[in-house]
Amino acid sequence: MNYYLRMKEKFENLKNKEDVIILAVESSCDETSIAIVKNGRDVLANIISSQIEIHRRFGGVVPEVASRNHILAISNVFEDALKEAGIDKKDIDAVAVTYGAGLMGALLVGVNFAKGLAYSLDVPLIKVSHVHGHIAANYISHKSLKPPFMCLMVSGGHTAILNVEDYNKMTMLGSTVDDAVGEAFDKVARVLGLPYPGGPEIDKLAESGTKKYNFSVSKSLNKTFNFSFSGIKTEVVNLVHNKKQKGEEIDSADIARSFEESVTDELCSKVMRAARQFDAKQLVVAGGVGANSMLKSKLSQMCDKCAIQFYAPVLRYCTDNAGMIASMGYFMMKDGLGLAQLDLTAKPNVELK
């Protein structure tokens, strides 16, 4: 039987196998990660080699530097994952990989590693969208969580509201028309002189600040589920530049607090409106900005009032990791989706739904 048909048959057979072990590879940005997950929910290993320290001196991710460091790290990350999971290579039933969205060169390292591994183990290769992976971070964090739910997707590359009807069926209700919310956090942090990545820094700093400034988000999108964050980002940048020019003190904590309050209010009000309109019983936050403490606390309080169950991934699964890719790969396999061949290539942009 030729390779293509053999993989198709093996992929089909996995649907009915009692225990399915998926090894996943994630290298879309500045984290080289390999995870081994059983039945989509049980994480046996989730190794993350972060390049944050390397990119910090540049104030952001340098794509070429990221690709080179993925190459340096990936084999060790793989060995560590096998060791931590305590399994042998032959126990792996399928290999899942992030094929997009992300940095082209960085993605290619993971995609090529995954292809080589799947071929050598003679197991199916599953291509997973990074953004869908972020949603699945909730399946490994909350063992009984199942669709349907309303999802607020907030990362460094995406900001959207998704009505998730089933594991592989979702409708995008709205998205950002310009910057992703994580991008706005990172730019505001940068102008305040905080290190990369800026989101967690703003989160910490805002705790000691007060909402002194009334930064605003565009009202023109009020009736939609779309977002715009470039205006508020520019407002903050201009304020800081003006203060610097006048030699005034930069009250960073108050600026961080005011920015975070406005942005989280905007995210919460739109996703809650979506949840009410679609009569959602559960609300799920996904992506790196899902780690934000103010966002989680506001959403959790609002959901309580509306008798909606609120979920956020545990912190280590919020930002990029391969555990979430393995989980999504499992639920795709269950629906017969995502089987890739050896001509799989990376895609910098992947449609959200």
Residues forming the site for Zn ion (CB under 5 A): 155, 320
156 counts as binding ligand KG4 under rule CB under 6 A: yes
Binding partner at 197 among Zn ion, ligand KG4, none, C-beta below 5 to 8 Å by kind: ligand KG4
Binding partner at 199 among ligand KG4, Zn ion, none, C-beta below 5 to 8 Å by kind: ligand KG4
**Least distance from C-beta 108 to ligand KG4, angstroms?**
17
Structure tokens at 200: 């967690």
Cβ closest to ligand KG4, residue 7 vs residue 258: 258
Mark 296-319 as b/e (b = at least 16 C-beta within 10 Å). bebbeebbeeeebebbbbeeebbb
Candidates 40, 100, 124, 287: give the one binding ligand KG4 (CB under 6 A). 287
Cβ closest to ligand KG4, residue 11 vs residue 99: 99
Q: In whole angstroms, give the CA distance from residue 271 to residue 283.
A: 9
Binding mask 108-147 for ligand KG4 (x = CB under 6 A): --------------------------x-------------
Candidates 105, 124, 199, 209: give the one binding ligand KG4 (CB under 6 A). 199
Q: In whole angstroms, give the CA distance from residue 139 to residue 250.
A: 42
Could you tell me the CA-to-CA distances from 68 to 29, 73, 327 in Å, in that order?
A: 12, 9, 27
Cβ closest to Zn ion, residue 51 vs residue 155: 155
Structure tokens at 264: 């989280």
Candidates 26, 93, 179, 186: give the one binding ligand KG4 (CB under 6 A). 186
191 counts as binding ligand KG4 under rule CB under 6 A: no
Candidates 40, 110, 198, 313: give the one binding ligand KG4 (CB under 6 A). 198
- Judged by CB under 6 A, how many residues of this single chain contact ligand KG4? 20
Structure tokens at 40: 């989509």
- Hey, is 57 helix, strand or coil? coil
Q: Which of 166, 151, 92, 103 is nearest to 125 (CA)?
A: 92
Q: Which of 27, 149, 45, 24 is nearest to 94 (CA)?
A: 24
Segment 302 to 321, residues that bind ligand KG4, using CB under 6 A: 319-320
Could you tell me the CA-to-CA distances from 301 to 152, 200, 210 in Å, in that order?
A: 15, 21, 20
**Least distance from C-beta 142 to Zn ion, angstroms?**
19
Binding partner at 291 among ligand KG4, Zn ion, none, C-beta below 5 to 8 Å by kind: ligand KG4
Could you tell me the CA-to-CA distances from 306 to 165, 276, 301 in Å, in that order?
A: 20, 8, 9
Q: Which of 339, 300, 270 is nearest to 94 (CA)?
A: 339
Applying CB under 6 A, which residues contact ligand KG4?
29, 134, 155-157, 182, 185-186, 197-200, 203, 287-289, 291-292, 319-320
